[in-house]
Chain A
């Protein structure tokens, strides 16, 4: 009986080892492919910045650099917006924020669904205010990140 038991364990070990080898040979190329994709993720076209409250967000580098060019001692609100699919409809967002005297500049990134708003340094920017203003124009704000520009 014990001989049969050892034989079974032996079979099990061989089976598990084979399974592991096959699994590894399938998973490894996928993992290496994934690693290549990660390496190709070169951040040339977008950057992951960190907001003052620690949240990460995703913006277009060129657009963001153009936006902050010439700005200093300000806060930039990066707002993720749903429903912002058309330039003509997004015009109202720019108009709404430009009525605020603490706002210096507004930009809309239709492709990423982002609105960039430059506020004076002393402004307290809260999500409720931003989302109310976005909703006045008919879109939905989903996320806010605030950056300080020194």
Chain B
């Protein structure tokens, strides 16, 4: 998984031994502090509700820096989705360079058409986020495409510039 925005550029490799959890390594370039670092990450599925037309997920997420154990993060992430609608939240508490802050983002979206299995799928979303350092909220449009095992997501705001997210499922 590759990710790039105004704060970081990162590559995240993770492995899921079961649907309940995944472990991985995230190597990132922190653009704010101008440092390169790596996190050992753990994501754990706390709750999943499957219905005929929807799925709800709540995850615990965490990461710890390899070389500085006091640099870490943990939080909750959740989503609700149908084939047409999507809503998610993400809340993290981070400790970096002796600074503790929180990050939160929320996203709502819809699929303009319902593709079949194997088609190109498209989601149009609106994302909003803030952190306790700047205390400023920003909102921006995001578009997500996926086909087969490849997912591409991109958003743009004048404040935060580009958000680019690329994922391949092996």
Contact = CB atoms under 8 A, between A and B. Distances in A.
A9 interface: no
A85 to B, nearest CB: 5
Given A83-B48, A88-B121, A136 B19 contact: yes
A130 to B, nearest CB: 15
Contacts of B54: 83, 85
Contacts of A82: 50-52
Contacts, number: 61
A138 to B, nearest CB: 4
A121 interface: no
Given A108-B117, A136-B19, A137-B19, A87 B146 contact: yes
Contact of B82 (A85, A108, A138): A85
A140 interface: yes
A111 interface: yes
Given A110-B83, A136-B19, A138-B19, A87 B52 contact: no
Given A109-B117, A138-B19, A91 B148 contact: yes
B159 interface: no
Residues of A in contact with B, size category? 20 to 34
A90 interface: yes
A140 B116 contact: no
A72 B45 CA distance: 41
A111 B116 contact: yes
Given A107-B117, A110-B117, A138-B19, A88 B48 contact: no
Contact of B149 (A83, A91, A138): A91
Contact of A140 (B50, B114, B121): B50
B116 A91 contact: no
Contacts of B49: 83
Interface in A66-123: 82-83, 85-92, 107-111, 113
Nearest to A112: B52
Contacts of B67: none
21 contacts: A82-B52, A85-B53, A85-B54, A85-B82, A85-B83, A87-B121, A89-B55, A90-B117, A91-B149, A91-B169, A92-B169, A108-B117, A109-B116, A110-B117, A111-B114, A111-B116, A113-B52, A136-B18, A138-B50, A139-B50, A140-B50
